Structure 1
Amino acid sequence: MRSETRNPRDHYAETTDQIIAALEAGTPPWRQPWDNAKAGGPSMPQNIVTGVRYRGINVLTLGMSPLAFATSDPRWATYKQAQERKWQVRKGARGVTGFFYRRIEIDRGEGDPAGDGGEGGKWFPLLRSFTLFHASQIDGVPDYCPPDIEEAPWRAPDAAETIVRNSRAEVRVGGDRAFYSTLTDHVQMPPQHAFRSPAAWSSVQLHELGHWSGAAHRLNRDMSGRFGSRVYSQEELRVELAQMMICAELGIRDCDFTNGAAYLAHWLKKLRGDKKEIFRAAADAQRIADYLLSFHPDYAMRGASPS
């Protein structure tokens, strides 16, 4: 009797296909979960038990779930976490896949030219998955109480300005375009009254500060792409994801995204050709968000932990 071998799931391809489908529908999925009219305001997904925020690609996978629009509760948990606390995941509830990387060591053989360097084995990251359930799918979970300004002082109205000021980035105001100049290392912003709200002004300023973070003496990303090029499009994807993460963390409700249909086409082409690109983009976006949020003293003292 011949046994059948089940092919392992390709999580890179599955996640990329989900995002491609959302992009083809006309809206990047990361622009939706923190729509105030749908989700009760911006909030980063977090673990029910530990309170730790999910990061990187998990922000996208959790944000793409319809449950992100049904309630303002940002909390998630594994089945085991619920079981350990006598909570009950409802029968038939479908979880959302989350991801983490585990470091795997491979011993270097005698024929490996690098084997004599005394560095031991070679490490590489292995993608692993787990399943998360939203708080609304779990009976017995305590009610969600969003943090007030005393618990999360970095969500104060002046948080974005605090970050800009402490970063010591040069911000010039004038004209009708918002951009970061690699030549002069400055951020250019239109006057604040040109934006539909103070929050929109703040979110765009944070977007341009995201580009500013890529300079060689900061996070050192490839900033050589010209407007409309593939490299430029890759940078825009990373910064837009970071902008979403920062706006959600700071509680900025009017996050103004400026990238349009032309960038959606660029992103679709790149994602179709490289199933790991969205994972790399999300990881880079998290680095950008962490870097900029560290300029807020209250957030820096909080000691954000990865998840």
Structure 2
Amino acid sequence: MSKDRFDIHQHLTDRIVLAIEAGAGEWQMPWHRGSGGRHPVNIASGNKYRGVNVLGLWVDAQVNGYSSHLWGTYRQWADKGATVRKGQKASYVVFYKEIEVKADGDAENDSKRRLFARATPVFNADQVEGFDNATVEAAVEELDSVDSFIARTGATIVHGGSRACFIPKLDEIHMPKRASFTGSATSTAAEAYYSTLLHELTHWTAPAHRCNRDLSGRFGSDAYAMEELVAELGAAFLCAELGVSVEPRPDHAQYLAHWLTVLKADKRAIFTAASKAAEASVFLSGKGA
């Protein structure tokens, strides 16, 4: 197999690292800028992209200035009567296919199943001609009340003090009072409160009886920082689902060096973090449905 074969893991990791580095001076991540507030949707199925594909498409939309949240392959756009403009550069999404391979053992029928990543080129609605952006909506309905969504998770939330955190020993989320949150250039005071609470709710899913998320075996001494990345991504995914603008967290400045070091050393690290974040958001959405 050619050594020059396209590596989707490295490609997406490099794009995300560059985007993180571009916003580090303002303590903003890729999901705080550009179209990070809207969930990318496939034009053919109307389904929302999941996991690392959400992050990858957010990054490319931001870098290229795309305003639409709609994406599709060349053929999918053609099926809609639209044409990808000549010279447009594709973005990539990754899908995993399970195949059966022969194991290393001596048994004649000894085989195992492995996941292989498949990269698929897609184009944003801003890159095509002959399509009306306003005619397509996501197949999944947006949740109509953030408060009711949070209440249905069953998490114990204690208001008071000046720090937002999840306390595993008590199995409680502690939040400052709503009145202590202020708005910013990117979000209202209410959105700042909700995005912070959704971050802590993602932490709340970590224990064994929920999502059983233990990153120490994969990331060692960087596990705590990577759990913060999972929570940050989980909050971003949930905010996109609920229509809430994500508030940048200045306290994450202390984790940026860890995140960039791990991502640069391990091209699959962001895939793991995004997968765990997606798992947490699905768990919370199931309880909050």
- 1:131 matched to 2:117? The reply is no
State the AA in 2 paired with 1:144. A
Q: Structure 1 pair 221/183, CA: closer, same or farther in 2 (3 Å)?
A: same
Matched position secondary structure for 1:103: strand
Aligned-pair distance for 1:241? Answer: 0.5
Q: What is the match of residue 212 of structure 1?
A: 204
Q: What is the match of residue 10 of structure 1?
A: 7
CA separation in 2, counterparts of 1:96 and 1:285? 22
Aligned-pair distance for 1:77? Answer: 0.8
Whether contact under 8 Å (2:31, 2:55) holds in the other structure is yes
- 1:99 matched to 2:94? The reply is yes
- 1:21 matched to 2:18? The reply is yes
Matched position secondary structure for 1:216: coil
State the AA in 1 paired with 2:180. A
User: Higher mean Cα deviation, 258-267 or 211-220?
Assistant: 258-267
Aligned-pair distance for 1:109? Answer: 6.2
- 1:140 matched to 2:126? The reply is no
Q: What's the TM-score, normalizing by structure 1?
A: 0.81
Aligned-pair distance for 1:147? Answer: 5.5
Whether contact under 8 Å (2:236, 2:246) holds in the other structure is no
Whether contact under 8 Å (2:98, 2:115) holds in the other structure is yes
CA separation in 1, counterparts of 2:62 and 2:87? 15
Matched position secondary structure for 1:105: strand
Q: What's the TM-score, normalizing by structure 2?
A: 0.86
CA separation in 1, counterparts of 2:4 and 2:35? 36
CA separation in 1, counterparts of 2:178 and 2:136? 30
Q: Structure 1 pair 92/221, CA: closer, same or farther in 2 (3 Å)?
A: same
Q: What is the match of residue 282 of structure 2?
A: 290
State the AA in 2 paired with 1:124. R
Q: Provide Cα deviations, 1:146-198, integer angstroms capped at 9, x if missing partner.
A: 759xx8351x3x32x21221111111111000000111110000111111111
Whether contact under 8 Å (1:89, 1:137) holds in the other structure is yes
Q: Structure 1 pair 153/14, CA: closer, same or farther in 2 (3 Å)?
A: closer
Gaps of 5+ in 2: 183-188
State the AA in 1 paired with 2:94. F
How is 1:1-307 mapped onto 2 (pairs within 5 angstroms)? 7-25=4-22, 26=24, 27-34=28-35, 42-66=37-61, 70-108=65-103, 111-112=106-107, 121-145=111-135, 152=141, 154=143, 156=144, 158-159=145-146, 161-196=147-182, 197-222=189-214, 230-297=222-289
Q: What is the match of residue 186 of structure 2?
A: none
CA separation in 1, counterparts of 2:115 and 2:216? 28
Aligned-pair distance for 1:66? Answer: 3.9
Whether contact under 8 Å (2:35, 2:61) holds in the other structure is no
State the AA in 2 paired with 1:105. E
Matched position secondary structure for 1:65: helix
Aligned-pair distance for 1:142? Answer: 2.6
CA separation in 2, counterparts of 1:242 and 1:110? 40
Gaps of 5+ in 1: 36-41, 298-307
- Count of residue pairs brought into register by the alignment: 275
Identity, in percent, stands at 34
State the AA in 1 paired with 2:80. R
Matched position secondary structure for 1:294: helix
CA separation in 1, counterparts of 2:142 and 2:47? 17
User: Higher mean Cα deviation, 94-103 or 65-74?
Assistant: 65-74
Aligned-pair distance for 1:58? Answer: 0.8
Q: Structure 1 pair 21/71, CA: closer, same or farther in 2 (3 Å)?
A: closer
CA separation in 1, counterparts of 2:135 and 2:246? 22
- Give the root-mean-square deviation of aligned CA atoms: 2.6
CA separation in 2, counterparts of 1:81 and 1:235? 36
Q: What is the match of residue 185 of structure 2?
A: none
Q: Which of 1 and 2 has greater Rg?
A: 1
State the AA in 2 paired with 1:77. G
CA separation in 2, counterparts of 1:254 and 1:286? 16
Matched position secondary structure for 1:260: helix
